[in-house]
């Protein structure tokens, strides 16, 4: 059985025709949706993020600063002033964040590109 090709060669050569810039200040100690991808495009393939203070980020799931049942933290820590950029990513639903320190009021700023 042959594994189906996710995208045709014609599709992968096309530019990313949608982009969305955002800034979100976190106002609680719970995971918050920074961007609802479905409101702006069907899929994200390129992203650039920066934050003012330490936050945990997750794609397509709720962000968490604690380990799950399997003992690992599935979100990644983006330290204040640090930049995260990726041009080979696939996000379809949401980008979420949570403060790494309670009552920290972190903010996340960035741009996403996709189709």
What pLDDT is attached to residue 2? 41
What gap in Å lies between CA 45 and CA 115, rounded to an integer? Answer: 8
How many other β-carbons are positioned within 10 Å of the β-carbon of residue 53? 17
Angle in degrees, CA 60, 84, 80, rounded to 5 = 105
Residues 6+ apart with CB under 8 A from 39: none
Class of domain 28-114: mainly beta
**Is residue 48's pLDDT more than 80?**
yes
Question: CB of 14 within 8 A of CB of 80?
Answer: no
What pLDDT is attached to residue 28? 87
What pLDDT is attached to residue 12? 58
Rg (Cα) of the chain, in Å, rounded?
Answer: 15
63 half-sphere exposure, CB direction, 13 A CA radius: 26
What gap in Å lies between CA 67 and CA 36, rounded to an integer? Answer: 24
What pLDDT is attached to residue 4? 45
How many other β-carbons are positioned within 10 Å of the β-carbon of residue 108? 24
Write out pLDDT tens, residues 59-108. 999 999 888 888 888 899 999 999 999 998 999 999 999 999 887 788 99
Element (H, E) at 109: strand 107-114
Return the domain boundaries, the chain. 28-114
């Amino acid at each position: 059985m042959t594994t189906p090709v996710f995208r045709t060669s014609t599709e992968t050569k096309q530019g990313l025709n949608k982009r969305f810039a955002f800034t979100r200040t976190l106002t609680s100690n719970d995971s918050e949706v920074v961007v609802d991808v479905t409101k702006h495009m069907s899929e994200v393939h390129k992203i650039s993020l920066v934050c003012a203070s330490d936050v945990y980020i997750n794609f397509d799931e709720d962000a968490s600063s604690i380990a799950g049942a399997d003992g690992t933290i599935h979100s990644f820590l983006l330290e204040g002033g640090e930049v995260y950029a990726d041009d080979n990513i696939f996000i379809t639903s949401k980008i979420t964040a949570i403060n790494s320190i309670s009552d920290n009021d972190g903010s996340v700023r960035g741009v996403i590109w996709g189709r």
